Amino acid sequence: MAFEVMDYDVIIIGAGHAGCEAALAASKMGCKTLIFTLNVDTIALMPFNPSIGGPGKSHLVREIDALGGEMAKVADQTRMQIRYFDHSSCPSQKSILCQVDRISYQMEMRLRLERQENLDIKQAVIEEILVEDGKVTGIRTKNDAIYHSHVVVLATGTFMAAKISVGEVSLDAGRQGEMTTFSLSNSLSSLGLQFNRFQVVTSPRIHRRSVDFKKMTAIEGEYDNLDFSSYSDSNHIPQVPVYLAHMPQNTVDIMNRHVKASLFYRSFIKNIKSYADDVHFYSDIFRKDIVDCSILIEPDGLKTDECYIRGLHNALPPKIQLELLQSIPGFEKVEMTRAGYGIEFDILDPTQLNHTLETKLIKGLFTAGQINGTSGYEEAAAQGLIAGINSASFVKCLEPLKLDSYDSYIGVMIDDLITKGIPNYYVTESNSASHESKLKINNTISFLGDKGYRYGLRVYNDSMEGGNKYNG
Ligand SMILES: Cc1cc2nc3c(=O)[nH]c(=O)nc-3n(C[C@H](O)[C@H](O)[C@H](O)COP(=O)(O)OP(=O)(O)OC[C@H]3O[C@@H](n4cnc5c(N)ncnc54)[C@H](O)[C@@H]3O)c2cc1C
């Protein structure tokens, strides 16, 4: 028997990178906001690599900061290393990459949510979006609690009707074996929304004591005066190195020999012929190195010895994943703590959205993040911020924020999603914007700062864009 609980101005479903930005924006704009997550302990979890930024993506992070979002500040506060990339004469190619402490990032973002006025956090499974006459009226939880609201932001990431697989084993589960739900996509489909299936693969993780780092190249961070956020002060950086390891041809041969021993590849990635094809799926700052067969060993945090392996994405049987790892110099005695896995899930066809990220079909229903077919924390956070601002604008009858593809990479991303849809998945790259030379990581405030002030999310501060050595 359903029971009614409480009314909110804005309800956010999902506390990943999209949901966190959406909730903070809506509540800071004065809306009584409620954010749901399947598990409070996984707020702002990074299921993939422990880093933020890189080409294209660092534009998004700086734009989030210019509009008054949180990702840049939290990344600065929890980082273990920061680097500046200046590989090209083209200004748009310059980028920043932060290695963050995965757990500290989660805890810091969670604390910001917990301490935010107007914002409540609840752990519950949402099964149904309630709609009357084409307008959102609320949501229903698995326990039949009903929360009323005229605005709902869906930011459910990789969880809807999700299946994970490793080798021949496949089960209904979200990332890292978390809970999944089929009811929510059924509820949305019955309202007339169209979905596609989507897949991503992640890499194994290892214990650092089992690695011979002498056989690898250490990559150190930049030491002075480099921050993501215009509000940050870079004095505290610990600067832990990451390591580059060469992947010999033998590793690629093992991968190619066993590629069909994975249910994931057989079922979902129809055209894949070899591992070399697979690596081309991934847009990455180390793309060149990965294609040239190198991998990156990224420490997960200051209080753990687990490391993430970037560039070895696969869903092969664990025994073969170990064989792959052991074929890499420095990994002869490696201990694999977690195997890589593949996940497939429902995503919304984003051509059903308008520029505000509200669905065209249902008034008051906004969607943001990986549910819209993007991949990446930065893409998710950027959309979450826009959906949060626009959901609060909806409640307060303010003019919505529609970013132009000429003033931001966020605008380019949203325009691409809603006009072109997603043949594969969408990842922002430095050449995503056709007029890329105009949009730099050091001029985001001049393009977007006023918009941040207008919605009350950005406060004036002295540092602006001039306070950072690497801004020029
Ligand atoms: C295996 C894997 C591999 C990846 N590989 C890459 C990669 O190669 N490159 C890259 O850039 N990115 C990669 N990512 C993607 C990146 O992690 C995501 O794009 C990003 O985290 C998405 O953020 P989000 O906020 O949209 O959703 P998520 O971070 O997935 O958060 C979703 C939130 O929704 C909540 N939720 C879901 N359903 C419900 C419900 N019914 N009721 C209540 N709460 C609910 C969850 O609890 C969670 O809080 C990968 C992710 C995974 C899982």
Residue 117: inside a domain: yes
Helix, strand, coil abundance in the chain, percent, nearest 5:
35, 25, 40
Q: Of 57-71, 147-161, 263-277, which range is least confident? A: 263-277
pLDDT for position 152: 98
Q: In the Cβ-directed half-sphere of 233, how many Cα atoms lie within 13 Å?
A: 4
The answer to whether the CB of 56 is under 6 A from ligand 1 is no
> What does the pLDDT read at residue 471?
45
Does 174 reside within a domain? no
DSSP 398: P
Instruction: With a cut of 90, say whether residue 177 has pLDDT above it.
Output: no
218-256 pLDDT per residue, tens: 998 876 678 999 988 776 667 899 999 988 888 888 887
Q: Is the model's pLDDT at 121 over the cut of 60?
A: yes
Lowest mean pLDDT among 77-86, 98-107, 118-127, 264-273: 264-273
* Bigger pLDDT: 375 vs 276: 375
Closest atom of ligand 1 relative to the 178 alpha carbon: 47
Ligand 1 near 38 CB (within 6 A)? yes
Contacts of 112 by beta carbon, 8 Å cutoff, 6+ apart:
20, 24, 70, 74
Atom of ligand 1 nearest to the CA of 183: 41
For the segment 287-292, the average pLDDT, to the nearest whole number, is 44
pLDDT per residue as tens digits for the range 327-346: 999 999 999 999 999 998 99
Residues 114 and 231 in one domain: no
pLDDT of residue 436: 58
Return the best residue to mutate from 12, 38, 163 for the ligand 1 pocket (most ligand atoms within 8 A of CB): 38
Whole-angstrom Cα distance, residue 148 to residue 160? 22
Give the domain CATH number at 445. 3.50.50.60
| Any domain includes 416 | yes
Q: What CATH number is given to the structural domain containing 266?
A: 2.40.30.260
Q: How close is the Cα of 66 to the center of ligand 1, in Å?
A: 24
Residue 398, judged by CB atoms within 10 A of its CB (0-12, 13-18, 19+), counts as middle
pLDDT at residue 103 in the model: 97
**Per-residue confidence band for 459, with pLDDT thresholds at 50, 70 and 90:** confident
Domain-embedded: residue 326: yes
Do 275 and 373 lie in one domain? The reply is no
Task: Establish whether residue 19 lines the binding site of ligand 1, counting it when its CB lies within 6 angstroms of any ligand atom.
Answer: yes
Say if residue 349 is in the same domain as residue 337.
no
Residue 271, pLDDT score: 44
Site to substitute for ligand 1 among 11, 37, 123, 347, most atoms within 8 A of C-beta? 37
Last residue of a domain, one of 291, 313, 343: 343
CB of 68 closer than 6 angstroms to any ligand 1 atom: no
End-to-end CA distance of the chain: 61
Q: Using the mean position of ligand 1's atoms as its centre, give its distance from the Cα of residue 234 in Å.
A: 29
* Ligand 1, atom 8, residue with closest C-alpha: 282
Nearest to 314 by CA among 346, 347, 282, 271: 282
Do 426 and 452 belong to one domain?
A: yes
Burial class (CB in 10 A: 0-12, 13-18, 19+), 437: exposed
Q: Is 125 in the pocket of ligand 1 (CB under 6 A)?
A: yes
Closest ligand 1 atom to residue 14 Cα is 34
Ligand 1 nearest atom to the CA of residue 18, by list position:
25
Q: What is the pLDDT of residues 15-42, one digit of tens each?
A: 999 999 999 999 999 999 999 999 999 9
Note whether 303 and 423 are same-domain residues: no
Is position 109 within any domain? yes
State the average pLDDT over residues 424-428. Answer: 77
Tell me the mean pLDDT in the region 154-164. 94
**Mean pLDDT value across residues 68-81:** 95
Say which residues have a Cβ less than 8 Å from residue 73's Cβ, sequence separation at least 6. Answer: 65, 228, 229, 231, 232
Claim to verify: residue 40 and residue 110 sit in the same structural domain:
yes
Q: Separation of 390 CA from ligand 1 center, angstroms? A: 21
Boundary of a domain, candidates 343, 369, 398 = 343
User: In this structure, what DSSP letter does residue 101 have?
Assistant: -
> What torsion, rounded to 10 degrees, do the Cα atoms 259, 263, 269, 274 define?
0
Q: How far is CA 53 from the centre of its chain?
A: 11
Statement: residue 166 has pLDDT above 60: yes
Q: Tell me what the pLDDT averaged over the chain comes to.
A: 87
Flag whether 173 is in a domain.
Answer: no
472 belongs to a structural domain: no
The contacts of residue 397 (CB under 8 Å, 6+ apart) are: none
Question: Do residues 120 and 263 both lie within one domain?
Answer: no
Quickly state the pLDDT bin for 282 (edges 50, 70, 90). Answer: very low
Q: Which residue range is the domain that position 390 belongs to? A: 3-162+182-199+345-467
CB atoms within 10 A of CB 338: 16
Tokens coding 298:
């990224």
Is any atom of ligand 1 closer than 6 Å to the C-beta of 425?
Answer: no
Pair (149, 80) in one structural domain: yes
**Does 337 map to a domain?**
yes
d(CA 45, CA 313) in angstroms, rounded, equals 18
Number of structural domains (the chain) is: 2
pTM score, whole prediction: 0.93
Do 377 and 319 belong to one domain?
no
Helix ranges (H only) for 82-150 are 102-114
Q: Write down which residue in 303, 324, 343 finishes a domain.
A: 343
Residue minimizing CA distance to atom 35 of ligand 1: 14
The mean-pLDDT minimum among 134-143, 192-201, 225-234 falls in 225-234
Name the residue with higher pLDDT: 453 or 467: 453
215 and 134 fall within a common domain: no
Give the residue, by CA position, lying nearest to ligand 1 atom 27. 157
Residue with CA closest to ligand 1 atom 30 = 157
Q: Using a pLDDT cut of 70, give the percent of the chain over it.
A: 88
Residue 369: band (very low, low, confident or very high) from pLDDT cuts 50, 70, 90:
very high
Same domain, 233 and 324: yes
- 271 lies in the same domain as 321: yes
Q: How many A from CA of 378 to the centre of ligand 1?
A: 11
